Amino acid sequence: MARVTKPPVFLARASYRQRRLRDAARLLPVVAGVLMMLPLLWPRADGSGQPTSVVLIYLFVLWVVVIGLALLLSRLIDPDHEPGATNVEDLR
């Protein structure tokens, strides 16, 4: 009788990491959009919000950080990796 091998219970490490990196890349614009709307909630003593200079500095710094994160994620994501593929070498 031939023994039937079961597929591994857990995903391969490389496949798992690639999926999480792709999830992070999909979520980055949503998080950035929420963070860009955050200055609308900042209160001020007279009730009119933060000064324009503070908001612009916040938005510029946020913009640079989002670009840096997008660059980092794009470098880490492997475009040749197939989402359903599992490698025996990755199971170690």
| CA 77 to each of CA 19, 25, 28, 92: distance values in angstroms, whole numbers, following the listed order | 9, 9, 14, 21
13-72 confidence digits (pLDDT tens): 778 888 899 999 999 999 999 999 998 887 766 766 678 888 899 999 999 999 999 999
Question: Is-contact 12 87, C-beta < 8 A?
Answer: yes
Which pLDDT value is given to residue 92?
46
| Whole-structure pTM value | 0.68
The C-alpha atoms of residue 12 and residue 71 are separated, in whole angstroms, by 25
More confident of the two residues 92 and 85: 85
